[in-house]
Structure 1
Amino acid sequence: MLNAETYITNEDGIGGSIRNRYEDFYVEEIPEVTPSGEGPNVWIWIEKLGRTTLDVLLDISRDLHISRKRMGFAGMKDKKAITQQWICISNIDSEEQLKEIEDLNGKIYNTKFLKIIRGQKKLRMGQLIGNKFKILITDIDSENIQSATEIANRAFETLEKTGVPNYFGWQRFGKPRTNTHLVGKALVANDLKEAVRLYIGNPYPNEPEEVKIARSLYDSGEIEKSLEFMPTGMRYERMMLKELVKEGKKRELDDRSYLKAIYSLPKPLQRMFVHAYQSYLFNKAVSNRIAMGIDKYVDGDIVIDKEEHLLHNKSPEELQNMITQFEANPTSPLYGTKVPLATAQVGKMEEEILKDEGLKLEKFECPKSPNLGSHGLRRATRFKIWDASAIATDKGILTEFSITKGSYATAVLREIMKNDVV
């Protein structure tokens, strides 16, 4: 995991790999709210394979000829997996419109509509309890599979007691093209031209040859040719390129042009860039903080309860008891303009990370792209895991567990496998 350096389990890693087949990685959303059965909005329980949540929504909005802004979801789900989750389309008043949605079932690529139900309320980001996972770890030596399963279950016992380091996984940054956080860093530095270049240009060695050619054309200033060579599957790069071609016909490209190119992307993707840079720094802060004790109160900690409210006027003994009972968690910063930093030993560590990056918190205002700036917040340094188990099978080790929303299954598997889990 990018910028994640600390483990909290002592067992040797069992090694292995995941996602050799998308079907080996299953995710099911644990919803906080469910549809009522009547109302102006339509909820769809979807199952998708090898696709992002956003890609599915864009396909549905295209085929229904409606704005993507009318569609909601509680959380982004893994691309390289089979996943099930609710999505919602607002203001579907007529039965004819409902029939159009029903007729789409089976026509959206690698996506099934398992339930279609009306609801009174819209679905908002974050309205879920967590996610349930079933993940097969493969490439385990058959002679060692029983002992590896025992190691995995011992690690699960530790994690259920202490919690799991709340690292952001590779999905946050991109893999193998790990540059989302670099785009965000350029935005925080107010360099819009470089942010766009890092996204469209900047070819990586392991990308397909046609993609490398298109990115190289952009880097050499041949924007129209870059659009011509960019494969149709690179839909977001093409969105930006089309906007830049249009801008280039009006005037010489400037910051307004590059900002328009960024704003041509779906809003969740626009916001992902600065968030990814914040996540990169957060992983470093978590690495340093959990080395002090993942389930321990440390002098200077800022602690939040289960509803993510800051806890004030609690003694160290009270905070420690709440942490032990998973009623509260120490936090690390998603750096931003208004995020409070810890004090004492913990605060010194958090300030050192900023110093190493040459950063000040006010930089996250992003004045040239203000809609993408961030106030920042405190995020728990660990998350809870429950119903965790590992079973030896003839295909590998099948792991099952549930974790709280906003956390990454790969952070769990990293503690078991002790390798670079993607």
Structure 2
Amino acid sequence: MAPGAVGDPLAAIPFAHGGPVGRGRLRVRPEDFVVEEVLRFAPEGRGEHVYLQVEKVDADTAWVAQRLARAAGMGAARVAWAGLKDRRAVARQWFSVHLPRALPVDWERHAEGRFRVLAETRHRRALRRGGLAGNRFRLVVRELSADPRALAARLGRIAEAGVPNLFGPQRFGQGGSNLEAAAVWFGGGPAPTGRFRRGMVLSAARAHLFNRVAAARIADGSWARLLPGEAVALAGSRSVFAAPQADEALARRCRRGDLHPSGPLWGAGPSLACGACAALEAAVLAPWAAWCRGLEAAGLAHERRALRVLPQGLRWRLEGDALVLRFALPSGAYATALVRELLACPQDACG
């Protein structure tokens, strides 16, 4: 996708393992995509913030937050969450509500049958972005058409080598609408109205630039190995360090999955990448200079994201013409990035 053009944001990104081994349909029903958040910490059971584990079905995260705020008789700004979750899914998600006084609240009063509260506790601080260790998934791919032996071989390869840590199509809005808005904004047009909408557009633009760099590194085979000048991401944490020379010790740790190469989440400030790594990123993002400037002007700081993700506990079974997958991913990784390396799914069902 060229600057200013909108299409399938993932269409031009190559595959790491040779392309899908079959076809299927994901999200035929909301219960075909089950995701459960895993908190990075245990709530203390006391404090000013009520923590609610909510199971939502075919409902937006922001919509649920608004209904929780309405139930408590307060503004939506006092409700927080750690990350957005897919609408067409069954999502078990944590919310926090700033409610210092211990008042009884009927949290499901405005649920309209689309969510229920599974657990309620308290904590001293509000839930923040980065508060998740990861997510557990159970996916059902229906109308499966694939050779079982090829399917098993590819799943084994994915379990061993991981997949590119791409941002999924959910990040870009229906039909790439968030990228469309970014192209208008960074092309000199009006900024999106509303803080939430503006944040979604900025997030999508940033994700798209990351995916451009990831595509280049998939193409040259370096998505899972370190380049000279790599900004190295430590597995299981948000820590990144510069490696001007990727020596054999670092290469071994990368092969073991202890650390990963990274790509840019564009914003203002210096990048930890240098040398060959920085040169590759500069070449890939040169046509997107207006987008880079726009992200910097919006006040975002330069960050890094791992280019590879290794699924944990990957299990699968066949049930007739359906494939059932179970696995866990670190926070921020997309289940659809794993499915993309396995099966071709219609965009409207995989999005």
* TM-score category, normalised to shorter length: 0.7 to 0.9
Distance in 2 separating the partners of 1:117 and 1:294: 41
Once the two structures are overlaid, the 10-residue window that deviates more, 129-138 or 381-390, is 381-390
Distance 1:135 1:316, change over 3 A: same
Alignment of 1:321-400 (within 5 A): 321-340=252-271, 342-359=273-290, 361-366=292-297, 372-394=298-320, 396-400=322-326
2:135 paired residue number? 131
Give the length in aligned residue pairs: 336
Secondary structure of 2:340's partner? helix
Deviations 1:282-309 (A, max 9, x none): 1111011133233212223221223333
What 5-or-longer segments of structure 1 have no aligned partner?
A: 197-261, 367-371
- RMSD over aligned CA atoms reads 2.3
Distance in 2 separating the partners of 1:297 and 1:179: 34
Deviations 1:163-193 (A, max 9, x none): 2211111110112x3210222233334522x
Deviations 1:241-272 (A, max 9, x none): xxxxxxxxxxxxxxxxxxxxx2xx3x444212
1:105 paired residue number? 108
1:158 paired residue number? 157
2:5 paired residue number? none
Match 1:295 to one of 200, 215, 224 = 224
Q: Structure 1 residue 73: deviation in Å? A: 1.3
2:125 paired residue number? 121
Q: Structure 1 residue 43: deviation in Å? A: 1.0
Deviations 1:126-159 (A, max 9, x none): 1111111111101124xx5xx33x4333222222
1:178 paired residue number? 176
TM-score normalised by structure 2 residue count: 0.87
Q: Which has a greater percent of helix?
A: 1
1:17 paired residue number? 25
Alignment of 1:26-175 (within 5 A): 26-94=34-102, 97=103, 99-100=104-105, 103-105=106-108, 107-109=110-112, 110-141=114-145, 147-148=147-148, 150-175=149-174
- Following superposition, which runs of at least 4 residues in structure 1 exceed 4 angstroms of deviation? none
Distance 1:12 1:89, change over 3 A: closer
Q: Which has a greater percent of strand?
A: 2
Distance 1:310 1:38, change over 3 A: closer
Letter in 2 for 1:104: W
Q: Structure 1 residue 339: deviation in Å? A: 4.6
Letter in 1 for 2:144: I
Distance in 1 separating the partners of 2:250 and 2:131: 27
TM-score normalised by structure 1 residue count: 0.74
Distance 1:85 1:125, change over 3 A: same
2:185 paired residue number? 187
CA contact (8 A) 1:51 1:79 kept: yes
Letter in 2 for 1:58: Q
Which of the two has higher C-alpha Rg?
Answer: 1
Distance in 1 separating the partners of 2:299 and 2:39: 29
2:4 paired residue number? none
Distance in 1 separating the partners of 2:242 and 2:143: 48
What 5-or-longer segments of structure 2 have no aligned partner?
A: 1-7
Match 1:305 to one of 211, 229, 234 = 234
